[in-house]
């Protein structure tokens, strides 16, 4: 199933878009990691921001998402959420982490999003070929042996992406801190086709 949010008109100043041409690492000529100067990537981002700011105009929005929706998704670089969901600047809150799992910090962000900024709907998005399917909670032990301290956080690794989406939906729906848990839907994004597949919470 695909999800499409219909386009909408805003009152007030028009929102303009400025595209900055940047070569992605997927299309750039390959170079050894050692050949990349420390800070070079950040320098490139800062230079791109200067171009962006030169043509930037204040869209006249406040912090409340126009569509009253919060999207929780994986941090994977292959997910272009705004393009994939037909979203525009100001439409949603986007909360991303490794795996797109619902952790205490995600609940924190969702709680602020709902209580203070008016969102009502929650969309959860995992994806195929996720890196969290390749590691286990043993990663915490590996870190402890490497740095001498065991992390307090869980890795939240999983083997069944569908089941992990269901677990995330359940964590949202049972949180005592959220005002609105009646419109919570979960999906798996296919990184090969770009399509969303909805997960039955049952």
SS3 category, 142:
helix
Helices (H), 34-191: 40-54, 81-85, 104-117, 138-147, 161-173
> Is residue 14 very low, low, confident or very high in pLDDT (cuts 50, 70, 90)?
very low
SS3 category, 196:
strand
pLDDT in tens, 43-88: 999 999 999 999 999 999 999 999 999 999 999 999 999 999 999 9
Separation CA 117–CA 102 (nearest Å): 19
Q: Which of 84, 82, 49, 80 is nearest to 66 (CA)?
A: 82
Instruction: Report yes or no on whether pTM surpasses 0.85.
Output: no
Largest pairwise CA distance in the chain? 57
pLDDT in tens, 171-188: 999 999 999 999 999 999
pLDDT of 39 reads 82
Separation CA 186–CA 166 (nearest Å): 7
Separation CA 91–CA 5 (nearest Å): 10
């Amino acid at each position: 199933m695909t999800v499409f949010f219909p386009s909408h008109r805003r009152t007030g100043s028009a929102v303009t878009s400025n595209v900055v041409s940047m070569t992605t690492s997927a299309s750039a000529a390959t170079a050894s990691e050692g050949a990349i100067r420390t800070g070079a990537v950040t320098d490139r981002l800062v230079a791109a921001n200067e171009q962006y700011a030169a043509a930037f105009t204040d869209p006249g929005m406040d912090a409340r998402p126009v569509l009253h929706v919060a999207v929780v998704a994986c941090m994977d670089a292959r997910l272009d959420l705004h393009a994939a969901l037909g979203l525009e600047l100001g439409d949603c809150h986007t909360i991303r982490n490794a795996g797109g799992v619902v952790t205490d910090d995600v609940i924190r962000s969702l709680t602020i999003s709902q209580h203070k900024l008016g969102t009502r709907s929650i969309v959860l998005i995992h994806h195929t070929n996720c890196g969290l399917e390749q590691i286990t909670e043993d990663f915490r032990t590996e870190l402890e042996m490497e740095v001498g301290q065991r992390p307090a956080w869980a890795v939240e690794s999983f083997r069944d992406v569908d089941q992990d989406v269901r677990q995330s939906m359940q964590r949202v729906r049972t949180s005592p801190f959220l005002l609105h848990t009646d419109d919570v839907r979960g999906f798996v994004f296919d990184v090969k086709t770009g399509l969303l597949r909805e997960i039955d919470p049952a």
